[in-house]
Amino acid sequence: MEESSKSSKIYRIIILIIITACISSSITAIAINKVFGDRLFSKVIQVDPAESEIDLPQYLEKIKATLEKEYLGEINEKDLINGAIKGYVDGLGDPYTVYFTKSELEEFETSTEGNYVGIGIYMSVRTSDNSIVVLSPIKGSPAEKAGIKSGDIITKVDGIEYSGSDMDKASNDIKGKEGTKVSIEINRDGKILNFEVERTNIDIAPVESKVLEKDIGYISLPSFDNNCGKEVKEKLKEFEEKKIDKVILDLRDNGGGLVDEALEILELFTNKGDNLLITTNKDKKEKVYKSTKDPETNAKLIVLINENSASASEIVSGTLKDLKRATLVGKNTYGKGVIQTLLEISDGAGLKVTVEEYFTAGRNKINEVGIKPDIEVEDNKKTEKDEQLNKAIEMLKK
């Protein structure tokens, strides 16, 4: 009974969405008709506004009947429904809130599990100009081998133009069958570049580590994917066995990922009872996440950040800064301080919805502000030197 009630409710919501989209389309059509007269339209569908408010399903039936009678091409009702829902959700103007069809949801969920078929890039939305920016190519990926770089703006995929609002659609179009190729148009500092990249199975190994000096360990984390917290913990244990008591955590070009993994990593460095994250929802209800464990390490810690460190990266770096547990080196971060949740619909589709804004342990705002480093260092892309990493090593040697 409960499942039936849910299905009925979802059906009514979908009907309402479609009607809303149809009303907007009808208004636009009538407005164009007034300007261009019979050159574009020879018929006007008469709809009583009061009727559309009273009986939306009946209004939808009129639109549907008209299309079936007049439309020249074939009608795929499922595509119409998906298009109406996508348009409705896009109308929010939030690039992080997205409607997924069943197949799109499956692809999205696969991409967070650590492997997928694609070209191997991390992307994000640059809200300042609503563009899709490449945060970083995955090491050894087809994208890196082709020459795609951090900071590149993706403008077209297979000839189709995309903006930041279409990032999830662009991401799905970049993925595809292994062995096939995809054409990517890039804007790099005003210069248009084109790349044809072969899709392959991307096995994401999110955590890399090495010993830089006798007592300095380095951990690179390009994304907060499943089990990365466990992997970081293992790397810290390896350092401890080697008597390494200074650690550099590199979160540069890390566009975020799973918040639960960010909290798990924070617990490796913080004291039991410390604030890790503070969130507020649309009703201004606050939730405080605290560390439930003793730290895994007391090593001296420096975190590297840059303008492409976003979301979960900002949770980790901002909280470690507030708790005075780490020194941040690099550039001001991206400024994505909102959390999305995935809501699955009974037919297999889903909604990724922005539901909360989050703040650091010290209640500092992240969204559209970012995290400011303690030591600001510019990485000169024209040199092979890593000025930010070198600064961190220099500081830990003191």
What is the total residue count of the chain? 398
Tokens in use for 51?
């009727």
Burial category of 202 from C-beta neighbours within 10 Å (exposed 0-12, middle 13-18, buried 19 and up): buried
311 is annotated as an active-site residue: yes
Taking alpha carbons only, the member of 265, 285, 268, 266 closest to residue 276 is 266
Catalytic site residue 322? yes
The one catalytic residue among 336, 352, 379, 391: 336
User: Of residues 152, 225, 274, 322, which has the active-site annotation?
Assistant: 322
Give the residue extent of every domain in the chain: 2-91, 115-203, 208-397
What's the token pair of residue 16? 């309402």
Q: Is 15 within 8 Å of 23 (Cβ atoms)? A: no
Strands 286-290 and 131-137, bridge-based pairing:
unpaired
Question: Is 245 among the catalytic positions?
Answer: no
- How many Å apart are CA 182 and CA 368, to the nearest integer? 32
Maximum alpha-carbon separation in the chain: 83
DSSP per residue over 11-60, as a string? HHHHHHHHHHHHHHHHHHHHHHHHHHGGGT-S------HHHHHH-HHHHH
Cα–Cα distance measured from residue 270 to residue 289, given in angstroms and rounded to the nearest whole number: 12
> What are the start-end ranges of the E strands in the chain?
98-100, 115-118, 121-126, 131-137, 153-157, 160-161, 181-188, 191-198, 200-203, 208-213, 216-220, 246-250, 275-280, 286-290, 300-305, 327-330, 338-344, 350-359, 375-376
In tens digits, the chain (398 residues) has pLDDT values of 434 444 444 445 444 544 444 434 433 333 333 333 333 444 555 555 544 454 657 777 888 889 889 999 999 988 888 888 888 888 898 888 989 888 888 877 766 665 678 898 888 888 778 899 998 888 889 999 999 998 899 999 999 999 988 887 888 889 888 999 999 999 999 999 999 999 998 877 679 999 998 899 999 998 898 889 999 999 999 999 999 999 999 999 898 888 999 999 999 999 999 999 999 999 999 999 999 999 999 999 999 999 989 999 999 999 999 999 999 999 999 999 998 888 998 888 999 999 999 999 999 999 999 999 999 999 887 788 999 999 999 999 98
> Residue 3 has which token pair?
């499942």
Instruction: List 277's β-bridge partners, or say none.
Output: 289
pLDDT tens per residue, range 10-34:
445 444 544 444 434 433 333 333 3
Query: Tokens 């510019």 appear where?
Result: 378
Task: Centre a 10 Å sphere on the Cβ of residue 388 and count the other Cβ atoms it contains.
Answer: 24
CATH 3.90.79.10 assigned to domain 208-397? The reply is: no
CA distances from 308 to 72, 95, 337 (A): 47, 17, 13
pLDDT of res. 112 = 60
Return the SS3 of 123.
Answer: strand
CATH architecture of 115-203: Roll (2.30)
Q: Which of 26, 220, 223, 311 is catalytic?
A: 311
Q: Of 221, 151, 141, which is closest to residue 190 (Cα–Cα)?
A: 151
DSSP string, 212-264: EETTEEEEE---B-TTHHHHHHHHHHHHHHTT--EEEEE-TT---B-HHHHHH
